[in-house]
Structures are given as structure tokens and as C-alpha cells.
A and B are shown apart, each in its own frame.
Chain A
Amino acid sequence: MAARLAEEWFAICGGCEVTILDIGEPLLDVLKQVEIVHMPVLMDHKLYGQTGEGTEMEIPAADVGLISGGIRSEEHKKLALEMRKKCKTLIALGSCACFGGVPALANQFTTEEMLEKVYRGSVTTETNGLPHEQIPALTDRVYAVHEVVPVDAYLPGCPTTPDMVANALIALLEGKPLPALSSKSVCDECPTKREKKAVSTLKRRLDAPDFKPGAPLSEMRCLMEQGILCLGPATRGGCGGSDGNPRCIRAYMPCEGCFGPLSDKANPMVDMMGALSSIGLDPKQIPDRAATFNRFAGAGRLRPTPRR
């Protein structure tokens, strides 16, 4: 019998759904064993009956539930609770579902400040007032899914990797335990060369690092030592999949932290500021530290600067 799969998306761009498609050939095998019962991005299954005649929210019972996106509105909250009720195993898909992701950068501001900026304050905005008809109320901040309902497994990444989605689905179909996340940091898995010299100035983010095109990564010098801010030290590894090397490093780009911090309690900003200042970098040089170091992990970590 085919396993039943339900998927919901909340505050997200849709990239993680594309990742499911990006699994490639293994997807054909997976699809044979899966029956998708609810997936707004893919199929026309309405919550209150196809013509809106229903009175109660209907998400069919499923063996596996995937949720992508953080929780930003009361609707998301309600759907998350419903998904938890209907799915045996609930998986947070992508960094937004796992730790708020990019939308959670808005947690640096109060909801009023954010709405003011988006709908009134910005010079390029026509001020037509706030949208108010037929839309669910916003929550006070962006929540990660696990802050609202218990989650059984996390597949972080922005977007998450096809390997991880495929492995998780195949493990579930075969009744095996879900693969654990890596406990190593990105730096642990990074092949670049470290020369242990202090960094004194930061390069701009898009400045190209020094590397020989075509040469193996192990001949490139650590990007941080080259003065490019890299979140490797404070970020969970495992993004490279079977290749082993971190994805962004493979493209000669610094780690941005999309796999999230190494533990729930860690605050990447404090970790990174400590690490950078102790290798001789003037901490004042770091632009927008809170958002830079919590770019994907804002839920529960970023908040409006308290007024004294």
C-alpha cells in the first residue's frame, strides 16, 4: 500500500518544494510508493471542500507530513496544528520551517514597525493603507514550526538538499529511522587550507576570493582568512551530501549559515562575534551583525532591540 503524504507551505518562497522535484531519478521510485493526499503547491485540494461548502478544515490523514515555511499568521498556526493532528510523522522542510529562515529577519522589528515600513514608509510604495479584507491576522513574530507544534525531523537548508529529502522519504518508506543531522560544523567539513593568520580587514561580500579555477578546493585558502565573512564555524554541516564538501564553498562562496546553528541554544551572533574578535578583527567592522549571523535562524533569536 502506498504511503500517504501531505504537504503544507507557510511563510516560504517555494524553493524547498522545487527541491523535492530536484531529487531526480530516485523521485520516480519514491513516487511509486507515495500517494500525495494534500499539497497546495501541486494540487487543487481545498481546505473547506472544493466549492467552499465545508464547515471544518479538512486535511486528510497521512503517514508523512511535510511543512515548509515559518509560521507568520494565525492561518499558518491553525494549519500547523491540523497537520500535526493528521500526520503520523511531521517533518520540517527547509530552514524557514526549522528556524524561521529569511522571513524571520522581520523579527528584528515589531509587527507595527514592519507594516509601517512595507505599506507606508518606503519611498517607492504607493500608500493605499493596510490590506485588511479576507486575510488572516499576523502573529506577533515569525515562529519556527517546532515552536508551535512538535516536529519529528528537521531537514534544514535554504533550500534544503535533494539528497536529504530523498534519504528521509526513502527511510520512512522502508520503516527505518530517519537519518540524523550532522553534528559537525561546516568548518569541520571544509577542505580549504588554513594558515592561522589573523584577519584585520573585511572584504565586501561579493568581492571574489583568491582561487585557481579548476584547482581542487584544498588549494584555496580559508575564505575567512581571506577576509570574507563565512558562517562556517557556527553552522551545522552536512549540506554537501555525498560530495562531502560544503555546497557554497564548492561555488567559492562563503557559508551563509542556512543549516542553522549547531545547537538549539546557540546564538550564532555571540559565537561569531567572539570568534572574530579573538582573531584580531575589529568587531565594529562587521555590518549588521544580528541579521548577518542569524540570517536563517531568526525565530526565537532575533527580536526588536529592547528600549532602555
Chain B
Amino acid sequence: MDAVENSITNTTETNGNGFEPLILTFCCYWCAYAGADLAGTSRIQYPTNTRIIRVQCTGMVHPNLVIEALTKGADGVLMLGCHPGDCHYLEGNLRAQARADAINLMLEDFGLEPERFRLEWVSASEGPRFAQVVTEMVEQVRKLGPSPYRTQ
């Protein structure tokens, strides 16, 4: 919870002109975080609007954290895990997928567009895919505009 808050509050995205979305990304340790690492070491360019929080498994990302992020100022939340069948903990990612349905329902209750949350699978060898998912997400959220909960 603290990590979520710090990632949002310690960041100022004001470049003076126009809206820069802030995307919070939960990456699982075993696949997606390694994928992000690969994107970096491969010098693949992608937007800098994302803040990555490394988690052991997407299965540990409770809807609480996603809702907390979106209602405290993040414009979008990405959850990246291993492909189904590849989970280090066997079925953590499937659990994440089950929760994603609940999260999508609850976004409506909080008056947020369902497009502000996305669950994707990125393996450790998919650096380019990581960059692509982040780019897509940033563009998508840029079109939606700032989160209604954003204060700054």
C-alpha cells in the first residue's frame, strides 16, 4: 500500500503543456519484471509514464491496491504476469485473471473507465512485448484524459 502511494505522490508529471498520464505497473518477479529488464537492456524505447512495482506474483495483487492507485491519482494501472501455465506458483496468474473481472466491475462503481485497468501476460523473454504493452496503455489512457480522482 505504501509503495503504491509513494509511486504516485513522489512523481510530478507536469511538463507544462498537455496531459501526461501516470501509469502504475505491477510486474511479477519471475516473468514480467525480467521482461521489463530485457526491454531496458535491449535499449528498446518506450514511454516514461510508467512506474513499475515489482511483486512476487500477480496473484498477490489484491483489488485493493488497484483501486487505491486509481483513486489516489494514478491514471491507469497495468498488471503484467506470466503467461497462463507459466506461473512460478502454478496458478497465481489465473487467480489474478479471476480478480481482474471483479476489478473491472468495481471500476464502474468508482466511476472509472474500464480501459484504465489492463491485465497482460509478458514473459521474461518478451522485452519488445513489454514495451509495446506499455506504449499502447499510455496512448489509450492519454486519449481518456486524466483520472477524475487526480488532484494536481
A306 to B111, alpha carbons, bound, how many Å?
A: 5
Is B89 engaged at the interface, CB distance under 8 Å to the other chain? no
- Which of B62, B101, B108 contacts A305, CB < 8 Å? B108
Q: List B contacts of A306 (CB < 8 A).
A: 110-111, 148
A274, B105: Cβ atoms closer than 8 Å: no
Is B63 engaged at the interface, CB distance under 8 Å to the other chain? yes
- Closest Cβ of chain B to A289, distance in Å, is 7
Number of interface residues of A (CB under 8 A): 19
B102, A307: Cβ atoms closer than 8 Å: no
- Closest Cβ of chain A to B140, distance in Å, is 15
A277, B64: Cβ atoms closer than 8 Å: no
Dominant secondary structure at the B interface: helix
Dominant secondary structure at the A interface: helix
A306 to B62, alpha carbons, bound, how many Å?
A: 23
Residues 110-129 of B, flagged 1 when their CB comes within 8 A of A and 0 if not, give 11010000000000000000
A146 to B72, alpha carbons, bound, how many Å?
A: 23
- Closest Cβ of chain A to B103, distance in Å, is 8
A290 to B101, alpha carbons, bound, how many Å?
A: 16
CB nearest to A266 among chain B residues:
B64
Is B53 engaged at the interface, CB distance under 8 Å to the other chain? no
A278, B99: Cβ atoms closer than 8 Å: yes
Q: List B contacts of A289 (CB < 8 A).
A: 105-106, 109
- Closest Cβ of chain B to A93, distance in Å, is 30
A270, B101: Cβ atoms closer than 8 Å: no
Is A140 engaged at the interface, CB distance under 8 Å to the other chain? no
Number of interface residues of B (CB under 8 A): 18
Q: List A contacts of B101 (CB < 8 A).
A: 277, 282-284
Is A161 engaged at the interface, CB distance under 8 Å to the other chain? no
Is B67 engaged at the interface, CB distance under 8 Å to the other chain? yes
- Which of A271, A283, A290 contacts B64, CB < 8 Å? A271
Q: List B contacts of A47 (CB < 8 A).
A: none
Q: List A contacts of B67 (CB < 8 A).
A: 267, 270
* A283-B101, A283-B102, A284-B101 given; A274·B109 CB < 8 A: no
Q: List B contacts of A278 (CB < 8 A).
A: 59, 95, 98-99
A307 to B112, alpha carbons, bound, how many Å?
A: 9
A290 to B111, alpha carbons, bound, how many Å?
A: 13
Residues 269-294 of A, flagged 1 when their CB comes within 8 A of B and 0 if not, give 11101101110101110000110000
Is A176 engaged at the interface, CB distance under 8 Å to the other chain? no
CB nearest to A274 among chain B residues:
B63
* A267-B67, A278-B99, A280-B98 given; A273·B105 CB < 8 A: yes
A269, B106: Cβ atoms closer than 8 Å: yes
A282 to B110, alpha carbons, bound, how many Å?
A: 20
A100 to B83, alpha carbons, bound, how many Å?
A: 44
Query: Which parts of A212-270 form the interface with B (CB within 8 Å)?
Result: 267, 269-270
A307 to B110, alpha carbons, bound, how many Å?
A: 10
* A270-B106, A271-B64 given; A277·B99 CB < 8 A: yes
A159 to B99, alpha carbons, bound, how many Å?
A: 34
- Closest Cβ of chain A to B67, distance in Å, is 5
B109, A305: Cβ atoms closer than 8 Å: yes
- Closest Cβ of chain B to A58, distance in Å, is 43
A273 to B98, alpha carbons, bound, how many Å?
A: 10
B111, A307: Cβ atoms closer than 8 Å: yes
Is A308 engaged at the interface, CB distance under 8 Å to the other chain? yes
A274, B62: Cβ atoms closer than 8 Å: yes
Query: Which parts of A109-154 form the interface with B (CB within 8 Å)?
Result: none
Please report A residues at the B interface, Cβ cutoff 8 Å. Answer: 267, 269-271, 273-274, 276-278, 280, 282-284, 289-290, 305-308
30 residue pairs A–B, Cβ–Cβ below 8 Å: A267-B64, A267-B67, A269-B106, A269-B109, A270-B63, A273-B63, A273-B102, A273-B106, A274-B63, A274-B99, A274-B102, A277-B98, A277-B102, A278-B95, A278-B98, A278-B99, A280-B98, A282-B101, A283-B105, A284-B101, A284-B105, A289-B105, A289-B109, A290-B109, A305-B108, A305-B111, A306-B111, A306-B148, A308-B111, A308-B148
**CB-CB nearest 5 A-B residue pairs:** A306-B111, A277-B102, A283-B102, A274-B63, A273-B102
